[in-house]
Chains A and B, each alone.
Chain A
Amino acid sequence: MELRKNYFADVRKDDLNEIGQPRPRSDSPGHVTGKTAFFADRNFPGILHLKMVRSPHHHARIRSIDTSEAEKHPGVVKILTAKDVPHNVYTILILIQVGPEDETVLADGKVRWKGEAVVAVLAETERAAQEAAAKVKVDYEVLPAVFDMEEALKPGAPLVNEYHGQNYYLYDSGECRKVRFGDVEAGFAGADHILEESYQSSPIEHAPTETTGCVVAPEGNDRFTCYTNTQAMFFTLDNTSIILQMPGSKLHFVGGTVGGGFGGKVDVIVEPIAILGAKLTGRPVCFIYSREEEMQISSPRAAEKVVIKDGVMKDGRIVARKVTGYTDAGAYSRHSPYGAQKGAGHYPGPYTIPNVWIDTYCVYTNRTPSSAMRGFGVTIGDFALEVQMDKLARLIGMDPLEFRFINAYRDGDMKAHRQPTEGAALIECMQEASRAANWPVAEKYMAMSSYVKGA
């Protein structure tokens, strides 16, 4: 890695003692000696193992659940169903007033995705829990499922989530988050070329080497210590408090040393049910996702579809951009309504465009609920935007890098969401990339600056 100190030297102090110094990491000696304590390295005598009975169907009504055989299985200590969960219908962003509550901790009457948790089995050994889970009988009436976002948005599509009443999230702005800036139709009308293209992704897993999980130990005083690899301690504690209808003062979360997160450990999934198990049995409980659960049950990055329509001039100026983004939330909201909205704030990308129209939708389908991941709401949008930029440049016969200089935002430029640009550095990144990659651009672009002229 090279630090190029020549850029922005006038606005930076480089004489600090500790900041800017490559100090060794204080946690690394623990890592290389195997002494760092991850949550699963806590072991307690008499610990129970929690295994989940999951839906084999994408969408089904639950006619009945019979746990009688499983309860008799040797080693089984407790079996939990929806009725055992005090506040079974929840949504994690309720803490920041993003509702409605739309997800069940344990399925109640219906499953909406293949892999949804239905019954929790707590047993003396992992094997006993697995064996008992195989004995739980759930009678399902399979319902039609919808997997494609466009199908889901059509009238008459199977309704994925009754708590929403339609297969999209209803924002205060309506069926999508909107950004309106300038007059996009006028922009298209005056453009030399129009290019409308569609981009698509499929779900992506965080795949941390350490799977999601927690170990819960009763403290003996009606408090519970939960060793967890959550990415957000109080977010998890406060949601657990709601789900279990338990004062937060009864909950003690210990974490902060996590074997990779990448956004995959911000859902509140394992802790509430494990703490409930510990509360009802009085025993320590561990609930650790198997690798298969981490891959297919834990929330992935949402699949997205992004449609971009641009009006561009022969001289390289983009004069109008319309973006329609669709985020595949799967069966439940989790963080997806926020991610779709984040996309609306991000488009049209780091470019100054006078006429912008953005609609971002959060769509429900019968698949594993998606949630946050590194680059949440932006990563797939950037793929779409930057491939579109390449196509536009080629359309007008311009060098793709030079084309970006023409449109790059600079300090003071008004963004589509009506905030002036501050602290821009796109131009300088491109100038340095031009040098590093030996991709020459015209001298006038190398002379540009992100600073406001004359400021």
Chain B
Amino acid sequence: MAKVPVQFTLNGSEKAEFIDSGTTLLQALRDKIGDTSPKGGCHQGTCGACSVIIDGELRLSCLTLAETCDGAVISTTSGLSESGVLHPLQRAFLDTFATQCGFCTPGMIMAAKVLLDHTPNPSRDEVVEALSGNICRCTGYEPIIQAVLTAARANSQNAA
């Protein structure tokens, strides 16, 4: 079967791969590139565990074909901390005990990051809306909502 070339920027570094046509971005990231931070929770677009940021927008990597991402700029949770320093969202998830099993966490953090990138001081309702495509079965959501609000406050204090 003919392989298809695809090139994109992943967490700041250039990636070039030959993939099978029809490969999802989730498969390409996990199986070809080795970034396993996006998780395959449903492959249906109903759980959000595979969420990544493509060209500044939140997307589901399980429903995105890798070859449609040629030239794109892609971010995943594994690229969020720089030189071992946690991103404020990651810090906030730790401080508010917002992770239990951790399977939904990378997707939640991606969804939250896009929100804070566009809306640095979100209301609770905006946080709820931003997380609404991501399923968590352990926490009951409240600690995650608190984590995002905490990160937003930390950001605004740093900016001030």
Contact = CB atoms under 8 A, between A and B. Distances in A.
- A contacting B, Cβ–Cβ less than 8 Å: yes
A258 interface: yes
A414 interface: no
A29 B43 CA distance: 26
B43 A291 contact: yes
Main secondary structure of the interface of B (DSSP, over half): loop
Contacts of A253: none
Interface string B38-66: 11111110110100000000000000000
B91 to A, nearest CB: 8
A33 B103 contact: no
Nearest to B41: A209
Contacts of B43: 290-291
A345 to B, nearest CB: 28
B102 interface: yes
Contacts of B38: 34
A288 B40 CA distance: 10
A35 B41 CA distance: 16
A27 B102 contact: yes
B121 to A, nearest CB: 22
A43 interface: yes
Given A32-B86, A34-B37, A37-B36, A209 B103 contact: yes
A172 B26 CA distance: 52
B16 interface: no
A209 B137 contact: yes
B135 interface: yes
B65 to A, nearest CB: 13
Interface in A14-28: 24-25, 27-28
Given A43-B31, A262-B137, A32 B93 contact: yes
Contact of B99 (A28, A38, A292): A28
Contacts of A206: 137
Interface string A437-450: 00000000000000
Nearest to A125: B20
A211 B41 contact: yes
A260 B94 contact: no
Interface string A40-67: 1101000000000000000000000000
B101 interface: yes
A34 B36 contact: yes
Given A29-B94, A41-B36, A291-B42, A209 B49 contact: yes
Nearest to A292: B44
Interface residues of A, number: 33
B44 A291 contact: yes
A32 B100 CA distance: 11
A127 B21 CA distance: 12
B39 A35 contact: no
B41 A34 contact: no
A127 B100 CA distance: 33
Contacts of A43: 30-31, 34
B110 to A, nearest CB: 10
Contact of B76 (A34, A262, A288): A34
B80 interface: yes
A260 B103 contact: yes
A265 to B, nearest CB: 11
Nearest to B93: A32
Given A32-B77, A32-B89, 14 more contacts: A28-B97, A32-B102, A33-B86, A36-B102, A38-B103, A40-B36, A40-B39, A127-B22, A208-B101, A210-B103, A259-B101, A260-B100, A260-B103, A290-B43
Interface of B: 20, 22, 30-31, 34-44, 46-47, 49, 76-78, 80-81, 86, 89-90, 93-94, 97, 99-106, 109, 135-138
